[in-house]
Each structure stands twice: as C-alpha cells, then as structure tokens.
Amino acid sequence: MDKLFLLATNGLIWGLIIALIALGLAIIFGLLDIINLAHGDFFMVGTVLAWATLQSTGSFWLAFIVAPLIGFILGAIIQRMVIQPIHNVAALSIVATFGLSLILQESVRITYGPTPGRILPPIQQTIYIFGVDYEVYRLFAAAVAIVALVGFFVFLQHTKLGTWIRAVRHDRDTALAMGIPADRIYVLTFAIGFGLAALGGVVAAPITTVDFRGGVDILPFCFMAVIIGGLGNLPGAAAAAVLLAVMEGVIQSVADPTVARIASLVLMSAVLLLRPQGLFKGLVR
C-alpha cells in the first residue's frame, strides 16, 4: 500500500506538470487548429533553459522567470514566421511543426550536447511519508503547477486579453467585426502555449533529465490528454493529464510501465469510440 500511494502521489505531481504542457497544446489547437508536433520540444527547451540559467547564474530560481519569458518570445516569433504563412492548411502545419521539432532538437544537441544531464533539486529537504523520505521539491513543483494553472484560467476568464482569446476561439468573424485584432491574438496564443510548456520544463527539470530528446515522450502523453479531455476543452485537457498520470502511477505499482502506457492508449481509444467529445465535456465554458 505504501508503494501504491507513493506511485499515485508521483503520478499526481507529474500529472499537474504535464497539465501545464497539455494546456499549451490544447489552447494552440483550439484556437489555431494547428496540430503542433513540436510542442514536446517546447517543454524540452524549458528544461535546457533551466540548465543554462543555472550554469550561467548559479541560481535555478531565475529560470522560473527566464525560461517562460524566452519561450513566450520564441513562440511569438515562430507563430509569425512559421505558423502564420500556413494558417488553415492542416497538412502543411503537420509538416512545418515536425520540421520545427527537428530544428529545435538539433539546435539543442549542438549547443548542449547529446549526453543527458541532471539538475539537483534546489530544495534538498525531504519529508517522511509512505515509508520513504520524499523530496520536498516534488511537493513544491506540484504547488507551482497548481498556481500556474489557476493563474492561467483566471487570466482567460477575467481579463480583457483572455476574453478576446475566447471570443476569437468561438467565432473569429464576429470577433473581427467587433474590432478584436485576431492576428495579434493568434500570436499571443501561440506565445502563451510555448511559455506554458517552457514553464513545465523548468518545474520538471530537477525531476527528469535534461536531454535534447526530452520532449519525445511528452508529446504523445499531451495528445492523449487533449483527446481524452475533449478537443478544444482547456480544463478537460488539464484534468485528463492528471487522470492519466495518476492512473499510470497506480498501474506501475503492480505492473510494468509499458503496461501502464498501454492502458492510457486503451482509455484514449475507448473515449474516441464511446465519447468522442471527451470525458470532461461539462468543463467547457
């Protein structure tokens, strides 16, 4: 039972981090109709920026500001230079973002190197739970993820820019008629998506490895969360990410991690067949 609760807790914490990344993917897909195959690499860039900030300044905490800010700027540039010219062409968006994924990976490999690295948790204290000394940083990571998720939804629901994003997402033509600058909203949305993924990378960097292929395993998990939560359903994507991570954590207490991932794929397939609108349709606003 101690092992079960420990793995479930790890799954919950990891799910909250993944929720940040999946939320960025969901908002890009929901507004721009872009199948972003480079989104996992946005997370990877966040982990590498955390490592670079630590190496250059000696402080990991600065990465919580530096990485999302750089991610936001890169997201805006990428949207203007790569996404905007192929807007509304789904096939080209897949090819373009796949190419972008390779460019990001190889750029990081050239600058950072091919060898995976580790960042020591900036909080070294532990707390005794479930029969083990559990890292306090993991609890801190969960708290940061929760604050970021709540902050994003507060921004989306209670600010002018958030209202504009929701308006363009639901009816672009009416939004344009009301004077909302849709093109700027597209840039802002993609930038926020990159920033959220980069923030998730910073939070996860001391928990996972820093590797130029670190986003490869993240991307399928994010897509599963978006599909299970419901396409375009932002709260649903976040909830589905937590659900999947906890489920996989529980299954890993009694089976191989590969079995846990297969279970997630089976759940996604069942949702597509039986409830294609997603498990969390009621969370859409």
Q: What is the CATH number of the domain that holds 35?
A: 1.10.3470
Helix (H, G, I), strand (E, B) or coil at 134: strand
Cα gap 170→103, rounded to integer Å: 32
Residues 197-217, mean pLDDT to the nearest whole number = 93
Cα gap 80→63, rounded to integer Å: 25
Give the structural domain span for 253. 2-123+130-283
What confidence category does residue 233 fall into, taking pLDDT thresholds of 50, 70 and 90?
A: confident
Looking at residue 33, its pLDDT comes to 77
Helices and strands in the chain, H and E counts: 11, 2
What confidence category does residue 272 fall into, taking pLDDT thresholds of 50, 70 and 90?
A: confident
Looking at residue 282, its pLDDT comes to 59
Residues 69-94, mean pLDDT to the nearest whole number = 88
Using a pLDDT cut of 70, give the percent of the chain over it: 97
What confidence category does residue 252 fall into, taking pLDDT thresholds of 50, 70 and 90?
A: confident
Looking at residue 7, its pLDDT comes to 81
What confidence category does residue 89 fall into, taking pLDDT thresholds of 50, 70 and 90?
A: confident
Looking at residue 283, its pLDDT comes to 54
Residues 101-122, mean pLDDT to the nearest whole number = 92
Residues 47-53, mean pLDDT to the nearest whole number = 95
How many separate domains does the chain show? 1
The answer on pLDDT for 284 being more than 70 is: no
Q: Model's pTM, two decimal places?
A: 0.92
Looking at residue 31, its pLDDT comes to 76
Q: What dihedral angle (degrees, nearest 10) is formed by the CA atoms of 16, 141, 246, 269?
A: 40
Q: Which two tokens stand for residue 161?
A: 């820019």
Looking at residue 150, its pLDDT comes to 95
Do the Cβ atoms of 224 and 265 come closer than 8 Å? yes
The answer on pLDDT for 276 being more than 90 is: no
